[in-house]
Every structure is written in structure tokens, then in C-alpha cells.
């Protein structure tokens, strides 16, 4: 009897231990929670305040027709906010835990079909199809990315939280106020990728020589024995505007060609230019 009781007691203990072990083995894994200041590959993680996310998307004039790419997408809030507006959006993030967190957040927000996240290195990823690029990175990383951004399609909008692009001056900026719930990192900067227009162009009006520093343009128009200095020159994406000899020229840059209009006091007419040399 005692032997049988000992046998049953031992068996019971074994079953109890097994049950506990199984429970421990099958217990759900705690969901990943990031913390402000945690280290990443090139930066520490600080989330963009939601008020500034909204301001950045407004500054970039983001619409459902856009394709947005967020570089260093963190917990996914910029991508998710854009997706809620109907925009197709991709977040590029190196931390795999953050990528999974972002996917979960997108599912919970009901925008998984519009919001995609990819674990990748910013410097090894092709995002050239984006019409809008957003980022919250450090100045030195912005500068490393700058050549890649400048090679994107003219007119692409680049929006950065707080940090600039060195001597590439921003086109616009916007600030979220404390009344909007933003107390730190509250300024957004916008750049519009300019067309590459530097060089010598042949036009019916003479030889157009353009010098370029990002979106800043200067130059001369030489024709009929006169050299006219350009004034009020402005390059916004692929749209070039300048005045020479009292005539207003405007046109769209398409690679080696410009097509547009020239306006005088007596009326308007078509105008075009073809690039002959690059610097």
C-alpha cells in the first residue's frame, strides 16, 4: 500500500512538473516594446512627435497619388499616418524588432495593405521610385544620403525632421507648436529635388549658359551681339524660370531639353532649348 502510494505520489509529481514545464514552454512571448534612446545601426531611436508627423506630410503635400518612403522608420508612425491618408508607403528600418513592431502597428491601425516595412540598410536600398522621402536622421547621415537624393527624379519631395542638408538650403520649413502637442524636435524641412540644368544650351534667342548650386541658378543669354545676365532665376523641381532682357522665360526641363513659353509686354510665344555641353 505504502509502495503504491509512493508510486502514485511520484507519478503525480512528475505529471505536475511536466505540466509546469509545458506551460512555461508555451507561454506567449512578450511583445517587443522600444525605449527612447535605444541604439540603432547609425542613430539612437527618438520617435517623431505625432504633431510633427502630420506637419511633415502636410509640408510635403502628400496625397494618395504619392509613393512615400520613410528612411529609418522606427515604430512606423510616419508610414502608418501616410497610409491612413491613402498613400502607398514603405518604411525602411534596420532593427528587425522595430520592423515587426511596425507591421503589428499597421495591422492594428487597419492599413497593412498600404503600409509596408522592410528590414534593410538605407545606403544599400533602392528607393528611387518614391515621390516623397521622409526621415529623422542625424546631419552626417543626411549628408551621406544627399547624393542619392539629388539623383532622384526632379520634383521629388524630401522632408526631414529637425536636421538639414549642409549647404543644400531647404525650400520650405514648418514648425509644430506646443499647443499642437510638440515639445521637442518640432521643425520640419522640405527640399524639392532640382533638375540638373548646368551647362550650355542652344536656343533660338542665342546661347544660354547656366550655372547651378542645387536649386539656385544663375547665368547669361548671349544673342544678337549682346550678353544678358539672367535675373530672378528659380528652379523648382523640373520647372525653370528666369528673366533676360525684359523677357520672362519659363519651361519644363526634361533631360537635355527645355520646353516652355517666353513672355514679353506684347504677348507670349513658345520657347525651347537643347543642351550642348555639361560642366
The confidence score (pLDDT) of residue 195 equals 98
The number of helices, as runs of H, and strands, as runs of E, in the chain is 5, 16
pLDDT at 6: 41
- Average pLDDT over the chain, rounded to an integer: 89
Task: Give the N- to C-terminal CA distance of the chain in Å, as an integer.
Answer: 102
197, 253 contact by CB (below 8 A)? yes
In the chain, % of residues over pLDDT 70: 85
Band of residue 266 on the pLDDT scale cut at 50, 70, 90? confident
Q: Is the pLDDT of residue 12 over 90?
A: no
Report residue 159 as a C-alpha cell: 522632408
Tell me the mean pLDDT in the region 4-27.
45
What domains, with CATH codes, occur in the chain? 50-192 (3.40.50.150), 199-277 (2.40.128.20)
Pairwise CA distance, residues 119 & 99, whole Å? 6
Q: Residue 39: which pLDDT band, with cuts at 50, 70 and 90?
A: low
13 pLDDT higher than 60: no
Tell me the three cell numbers of residue 64.
494618395
Average pLDDT of 44-48?
Answer: 79
Residue 33 confidence (pLDDT):
72
pLDDT reading at 225 higher than 90: no
Q: What is the pLDDT of residues 100-140, one digit of tens each?
A: 999 999 999 999 999 999 999 999 999 999 999 999 999 99
Assign residue 126 a region (left: φ > 0; alpha: ψ between -120 and 50; beta: otherwise). Answer: beta
If you ran DSSP here, which 8-state letter would residue 113 be given? T
Q: How confident is the model at residue 17 (pLDDT cuts 50, 70, 90)?
A: very low
Is the pLDDT at 5 greater than 50, yes or no? no
Q: How confident is the model at residue 22 (pLDDT cuts 50, 70, 90)?
A: very low
pLDDT of residue 165: 97
The pLDDT of residue 19 is 46
Please report how many Cα atoms fall inside a 13 Å half-sphere around the Cα of residue 38, on the Cβ side.
12
Please report which confidence band the pLDDT of residue 41 belongs to, taking 50, 70 and 90 as the band edges.
low
Amino acid at each position: 500500500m505504502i509502495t503504491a502510494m509512493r508510486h502514485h505520489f511520484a507519478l503525480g509529481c512528475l505529471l505536475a512538473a511536466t505540466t509546469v514545464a509545458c506551460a512555461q514552454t508555451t507561454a506567449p512571448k512578450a511583445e517587443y516594446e522600444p525605449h527612447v534612446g535605444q541604439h540603432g545601426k547609425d542613430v539612437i531611436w527618438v520617435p517623431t512627435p505625432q504633431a510633427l508627423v502630420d506637419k511633415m506630410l502636410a509640408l510635403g503635400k502628400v496625397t494618395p497619388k504619392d509613393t512615400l518612403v520613410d528612411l529609418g522608420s522606427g515604430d512606423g508612425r510616419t508610414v502608418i499616418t501616410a497610409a491612413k491618408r491613402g498613400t502607398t508607403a514603405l518604411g525602411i528600418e534596420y532593427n528587425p524588432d522595430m520592423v515587426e513592431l511596425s507591421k503589428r502597428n499597421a495591422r492594428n491601425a487597419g492599413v497593412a495593405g498600404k503600409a509596408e516595412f522592410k528590414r534593410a540598410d538605407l545606403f544599400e536600398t533602392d528607393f528611387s521610385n518614391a515621390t516623397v522621402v521622409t526621415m529623422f536622421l542625424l546631419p552626417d547621415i543626411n549628408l551621406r544620403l544627399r547624393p542619392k537624393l539629388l539623383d532622384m527624379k526632379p520634383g521629388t519631395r524630401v522632408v526631414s525632421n529637425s536636421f538639414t542638408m549642409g549647404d543644400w538650403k531647404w525650400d520650405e520649413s514648418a514648425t509644430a507648436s506646443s499647443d499642437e502637442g510638440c515639445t521637442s524636435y518640432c521643425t520640419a524641412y522640405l527640399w524639392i529635388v532640382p533638375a540638373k540644368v548646368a551647362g550650355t544650351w542652344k536656343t533660338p534667342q542665342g546661347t544660354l549658359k547656366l550655372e547651378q548650386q542645387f536649386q539656385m541658378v544663375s547665368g547669361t543669354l548671349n544673342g544678337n551681339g549682346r550678353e544678358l545676365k539672367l535675373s530672378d532665376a528659380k528652379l523648382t523641381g523640373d520647372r525653370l524660370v528666369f528673366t533676360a532682357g525684359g523677357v520672362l522665360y519659363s519651361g519644363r526641363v526634361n533631360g537635355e531639353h527645355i520646353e516652355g513659353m517666353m513672355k514679353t509686354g506684347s504677348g507670349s510665344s513658345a520657347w525651347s532649348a537643347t543642351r550642348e555641353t555639361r560642366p
